[in-house]
Amino acid sequence: MEGQSKGSFNVMEESERNGKGRCGSMVGTCDLVLRVLAFVLTLVAAVVIGADKQTAIVPFKLVESMPPLYVPVAAKWHYLSAFVYFVGANAIACAYATLSLLFSLGNRRKGMESLISVFDTLMVALLFSSNGAAIAVGLLGLQGNLHLHWNKVCNVFGKFCDQVAASLFISLLGSITFLLLLLLPHVFRLKQTT
């Protein structure tokens, strides 16, 4: 009887261990896929906004009573510090995604796993702050602000703004990918406890 109980306990333990092993390997696979995705998305986001540039012909009045002069005006991403920070953050996150991918593909020791988790967390903070900054400034460019007399610029630089919006969307997906890298172990642990 005791032997039977011990035997069934061993079987349960074994199946639990197998379950944990399967779960662990699933987390490992998801982790790798997410790191590849994070690399691609942050790279594309940085390149899309980094290559963004538009020149538009804008009417410019020197004297009120004279007809306006038409002057070519350029819009470049580095005119706004929020976009400079955004490009820098995406570039750093992209480089880190490559490094962490290489370490994840190699033999991961417990210490290395913790170190990667620390840097994943820092990347989430960095990317979300840069997305917040770029989206806030992008919205001001799109809508302007009546109270501050800041005119919208997207009615003049439509193509430039579209490209910024695309880059912001891609970077947001990249940030969510890094967020998922942090959430994944907790979600699997939650699934195991329920």
101 or 142: CB nearest a copy of itself: 142
Phi/psi-derived region of residue 69, left when phi > 0, alpha when psi is between -120 and 50, beta in every other case: beta
Beta carbon of residue 148, minimum distance to a copy of itself (angstroms, whole number): 6
- By C-beta, is 8 or 71 nearer to a copy of itself? 71
State the minimum distance, in angstroms, from the CB of residue 48 to a copy of itself.
Answer: 19
**Which parts of this chain interact with a copy of itself (CB under 8 A)?**
64, 75, 79-82, 85, 109-111, 114-115, 117-118, 121-122, 124-126, 128-137, 139-141, 145, 147-151, 153, 175, 179, 182-183, 186-187, 189-190, 193-194
Of 97 and 179, which CB lies nearer to a copy of itself in the complex structure?
179
Separation CA 65–CA 115 (nearest Å):
67
* Shortest distance in whole angstroms from residue 111 CB to a copy of itself: 4
